[in-house]
Structure 1
Amino acid sequence: MLDNHHKNLATFIHLSTFSRFIIPFGNFIGPIILWAANKDKSDFIDQHGKQAINFQISVLLYAIIIGTLSVPFFIFKVFRNMSFIDFNGFNNFHINIDHPSPLLYIGGSLGAIAVLAFIIELALIVKASLSARDGENYKYPFTINFLK
C-alpha cells in the first residue's frame, strides 16, 4: 500500500535532479542519496529511484556523444585555412567565418538537437514527478537501464 510519504519521496527523487543547477553533478548526487536512503522502504521508491538515476546517466551519455560529434565540425571549419606547420605566432592568425560550410551547418544542427533534448529532458522530469505524485510507475523513454 502506497502512502503519501512514499509518493512524496519518489517525487522528490525525480525533482532532486534539478539540483544540478545549484550543485555540480547534483542531478546524480541528489537522486542517489534519496534513493539509497529509502530504497528499502518500498518497491515504488526503489523503482522511481532507479528510473531517475538511469535517465540521468543516459542523458549524460547522449550529451557526450552529441558533443563529441559536434566539436570536430567547428574545429575543422574555423582552422581549415591555417597551416599548423607554418604557424609561427599570432601575427598572421585569421579566422574566416564569412562563408559557412556544410560542416558548420551540421555542427549547428547537432547543437540545436542538444538544446531540444535539454528541453525534452526537463519536461520528462516534470512528467515523471507528477506520475510519482499520483502513485503511478513511470518509465523514461530512451533510457538505458544501468541499474536493474
Structure 2
Amino acid sequence: MLTNHQKNIATFIHLSTFSRFIIPLGNFIGPIILWVLNKDKSDFIDKHGKQAINFQMSILLYAIIIGTLTIPFFIFKLFSGIDFIDFHGFHDFHINIGKPSPLLYIGGFLGAFAILAFILELVFIVIASLKARDGAYYNYPFTINFLK
C-alpha cells in the first residue's frame, strides 16, 4: 500500500529536475539526492528515481549529439567568407545575409529540433510527476536505461 509520503517523494524526485534553472546541474543533483536518501524505503520511490535519473542522462546524451551535429554547420557558414591565408583584419569580413546556404538550413533545422525536444522534455517531466502523485508508474519515452 502506497502512502501519501511515498507518492510525494516520487513526485518531488521528478519535479526536482526543474532545479536546473536555479542550480547548475540541478537536474541531476536534486533527483539523485532524493533517490539515494529514499530508495530503500519503497520500491515505488526506487523505480521513479531511476526513471527520472535515466531520463536526464538520456537527455544529456541527446543534447551532446545534437550539439555536435549543429555547431559545425553554423561555424562553417560563419567562416565561409573569411580567407584565412590572406587575412587583413576585419575590413574584408563579409556575411552574406541575402543568400542562405544549405548548411544554415540544416543547422537551423537541428536547432529547431533541439527547442522542440526541450519543450517535450518539460511536458514529460510534468506528466511523470502527475503520475507519481496519483500512485502510478511512468516510463519516460526515448529513455536509455543506464540504471536498472
Tell me which interval the TM-score lies in, with the shorter structure as reference length: over 0.9
Aligned-residue Cα RMSD (Å) equals 0.9
1:10 Cα deviation (Å)?
Answer: 0.1
CA distance in 2 between counterparts of 1:81 and 1:71 reads: 17
8 Å Cα contact 2:81-2:93 kept in structure 1: no
State the partner residue of 2:15.
Answer: 15
Kindly report which structure 2 residues correspond to 1:1-148, keeping only aligned pairs within 5 A, or say none: 1-148=1-148
CA distance in 2 between counterparts of 1:127 and 1:28 reads: 18
- What letter matches 1:81 in structure 2? G
Per-residue CA deviation, residues 46-87 of structure 1 (Å, 9 max, x unaligned), is 000000000001001111111110111111112112121222
- What letter matches 2:109 in structure 1? S
CA distance in 2 between counterparts of 1:63 and 1:87 reads: 35
What is the aligned length? 148
TM (norm. structure 1) is 0.96
- What letter matches 2:86 in structure 1? D
CA distance in 1 between counterparts of 2:97 and 2:20 reads: 34
In structure 1, runs of 5+ residues without a counterpart are none
CA distance in 1 between counterparts of 2:79 and 2:24 reads: 32
TM (norm. structure 2) is 0.96
In structure 2, runs of 5+ residues without a counterpart are none
The percent of aligned pairs where both chains have the same amino acid is: 78
CA distance in 2 between counterparts of 1:75 and 1:97 reads: 15
CA distance in 2 between counterparts of 1:6 and 1:87 reads: 64
